[in-house]
Amino acid sequence: MLTSRERVQKALNHQQPDRTPLDLGATAVTGISASALYRLREMLGLEKHPVYVHEPYQMLGKVEEDLLDALDMDVIGLGDDSTMFGFPASDWRPFTLNDGTPIMVGRGFNTKRTPLPRQ
């Protein structure tokens, strides 16, 4: 059985690893929406807490180590703390998504809810 590092290196070198390397949330391309992440954590019986939205442009949740371990992921993210909007993903404060998912957003996340027009 290969280590995660060996598995990824083999795949990148077009060699056959023991299994396909797995990535969830290491990049904006492999990210997971905050709502889906919250429900996945709940389904796996992991600690229930608000999801930290590290990328508000796509509302991507930070995939934490306990979930990476539970799903046997091979890749971790090494990005900085800035969002695609240019503000830092820090100084967290609570926010609730329209579907009721509790999240934490950075201080630069400033939005107003606008009621939908009546039809």
Q: What is the pLDDT of residues 17-36, one digit of tens each?
A: 999 999 999 988 999 999 99
* Reported pTM: 0.88
pLDDT at position 111 is 87
CA distance 25 to 28: 7
Are the C-beta atoms of residues 53 and 104 closer than 8 Å to each other?
A: yes
- Whose tokens are 């900085």? That residue is 80
Report helix, strand or coil for 52. Answer: strand
